[in-house]
Structure 1
Amino acid sequence: MYRNEKFNRWRRHPWHGLHARIDDAPEDIVQVYVEMLPTDVVKYELDKSSGFLVVDRPQRTTSSPPALYGFIPRTYCAEEVARRCPGVTEADGDPLDICVYSERHINRADIVLNARVVGGIQMIDGGEADDKIIAILEGDNIWGDAQDIADLPPIKVERLQHYFATYKMVPGKEIDIKVDHVYGREEALKVIAAAEKDYWNHYGELHEQQRS
């Protein structure tokens, strides 16, 4: 199922030790590390130093993600990702986020799965590009035939837009988040490629050191 490599007795870092792509798979299939579930009202996030999933903060509101929420390994949102987002000069400096729909409930995070990319949301948070890729679980019995964003009911995307537009809200305070632009599969693949390029520009030396 996953890239075949020599056995490593130590757990791999989910961001640096896994791969975005799977050998011999179509270009729209990516690996996903899942940080949060649709049932979570606590925000979990990968600790970049240790590779462990940690509690970032309890959500202030009752909002919870409408899909599995995580990131694509060996991606990074920096200059190349920002160039694909008109009106901004910076990205958020995190791995590329991805939301995955599954008909069957997956009831634990800190797992890896394969997903088919169908589109994305061009989110701008505080003037920084913070794209959210949208995908479906590979082999899903309900959503498995979806190839592009138009193949999903519009409400699926609307709920994601609402979640990301409101999950940082604090009563009495303004937030600067835009989630107006939704794009399809082809643009999503270009955003992923940009995030992969940003990763190698910023972290490629880690892998070069391992080879030497």
Structure 2
Amino acid sequence: MATTRVMAAATSTSCTLILKRPPSFHSVKRSLSFTPTLSRKLFTCRAIHRPEDVVSKEHGQPETLDYRVFFEDNSGKKVSPWHDIPLQLGDGVFNFVVEIPKESSAKMEVATDELYTPIKQDTKKGKLRYYPYNINWNYGLLPQTWEDPSHANSDVEGAFGDNDPVDVVEIGEKQRKIGEILKVKPLGALAMIDEGELDWKIIAISLDDPKASLVNDVEDVEKHFPGTLTAIRDWFRDYKIPDGKPANKFGLGNKAANKDYALKVITETNESWAKLVKRNIGAGELSLV
């Protein structure tokens, strides 16, 4: 059993939500506390588990059906990488959980229907799934976000959410590890439509990357990482074609939206997650633990 220490958020971390109407503060469930800010119509959600460091532990052998990567806090208590790691660190910086390291092909994902939502390798008809070719960027999720399958997005052809956390494509030079938690800043967003479902791809870079200070919006990506936005779009457009499926489509003019739009996506999906864990929306088979 391998153990990897990965940094998470400090205890003051919070994620900010924009509300259209004042929420009820009397029936908050699980690991949320809400603080209203009436002048801006904002409130803050905070996870109970805000450890300064988290341990990720592998169970089973990689590339087997039993393989899982669980997360524990300092006391040895299991925590969920989806629900219990805070989203926002402040100053436009967010936590990002790595599911798939760059230059690898095993299709790893957070098991949203299992207790403590560990990372596992996806399966189809009982067999492990692999991409037909390596992914060229670190790939994973933004914790405390959720793409609501009951919500039709009017900006993106009325497509409904895919029932998963929001995906991140981290463009830094270093290959990361499964279960590593990075501090990233969003740079843009691609609105992928996968078999009719909206599956956002947030383009981001880790703060410890040598080029992080040079890129702050989508136009900077094109300047300092030329061709990367097109390569990301084309990779996600085409990766299912070798399996006989049609190419994925993209909304928003088939281009990456800017940083402000990416932050809007993060805020809205964070709000959807908050409604989910408060049981204001049915969870179905999703684990809220």
Please identify the structure whose Cα radius of gyration is greater.
2
Instruction: Report if the CA contact (8 A) 2:171-2:205 is conserved.
Output: yes
Q: Could you tell me which residue of structure 1 aligns to residue 200 of structure 2?
A: 131
2:10 pairs with 1:3 = yes
Deviation at 1:202, TM superposition (A): 1.4
Deviates more, 1:75-84 or 1:130-139: 75-84
Instruction: Report if the CA contact (8 A) 1:80-1:194 is conserved.
Output: no
CA RMSD after TM alignment: 2.2
Could you give the per-residue CA deviations for residues 170-211 of structure 1, whole angstroms, max 9, x where no partner exists?
35x3425113231010000000011001101112349xxxxx
Q: Could you tell me which residue of structure 2 aligns to residue 52 of structure 1?
A: 118
Instruction: Report if the CA contact (8 A) 1:79-1:198 is conserved.
Output: no
TM-score under structure 2 normalisation?
0.64
Give the Cα–Cα distance (whole angstroms) in 1 for the partners of residues 171 and 151 of structure 2.
24
Regions of 4+ moved over 6 Å? none
Give the Cα–Cα distance (whole angstroms) in 1 for the partners of residues 175 and 212 of structure 2.
13
Q: Could you tell me which residue of structure 1 aligns to residue 63 of structure 2?
A: none
Deviation at 1:8, TM superposition (A): 4.3
2:86 pairs with 1:19 = yes
Instruction: Report if the CA contact (8 A) 2:97-2:143 is conserved.
Output: yes
Deviation at 1:141, TM superposition (A): 1.2
2:138 pairs with 1:68 = yes
User: Per residue, is there more strand in 1 or in 2?
Assistant: 2
Q: Kindly indicate whether structure 1 or structure 2 has the higher relative contact order, using CA contacts under 8 Å at least 6 residues apart.
A: 1
> What is the count of residue pairs matched by the alignment?
200
Deviation at 1:162, TM superposition (A): 1.5
Give the Cα–Cα distance (whole angstroms) in 1 for the partners of residues 100 and 155 of structure 2.
26
Q: Could you tell me which residue of structure 2 aligns to residue 30 of structure 1?
A: 94
Aligned AA (1:116)? K
Aligned AA (2:88)? R
| Percent of paired sites with the same residue | 22
Describe how 1:161-172 pairs up with structure 2 within 5 A.
161-170=233-242
Deviation at 1:58, TM superposition (A): 3.0
Deviates more, 1:182-191 or 1:50-59: 50-59
Which of 62, 86, 105 is matched with 2:175 structurally?
Answer: 105
Q: Could you tell me which residue of structure 1 aligns to residue 220 of structure 2?
A: 151
Could you give the per-residue CA deviations for residues 115-165 of structure 1, whole angstroms, max 9, x where no partner exists?
011101111111111110000111321233210011113411111112111
In structure 2, runs of 5+ residues without a counterpart are: 1-7, 12-49, 52-73, 123-127, 281-289
Give the Cα–Cα distance (whole angstroms) in 1 for the partners of residues 195 and 100 of structure 2.
22
Aligned AA (1:161)? R
SS in 2 for 1:131: strand
Give the Cα–Cα distance (whole angstroms) in 2 for the partners of residues 112 and 14 of structure 1.
9
Give the Cα–Cα distance (whole angstroms) in 1 for the partners of residues 194 and 97 of structure 2.
22
User: Per residue, is there more helix in 1 or in 2?
Assistant: 1
SS in 1 for 2:78: coil
Aligned AA (1:15)? W
Deviation at 1:80, TM superposition (A): 8.7
In structure 1, runs of 5+ residues without a counterpart are: 207-212
TM-score under structure 1 normalisation?
0.85
Give the Cα–Cα distance (whole angstroms) in 2 for the partners of residues 100 and 81 of structure 1.
26
Could you give the per-residue CA deviations for residues 2-34 of structure 1, whole angstroms, max 9, x where no partner exists?
132475431311001111111xx21x2110010
Instruction: Report if the CA contact (8 A) 2:160-2:196 is conserved.
Output: yes
SS in 2 for 1:182: coil
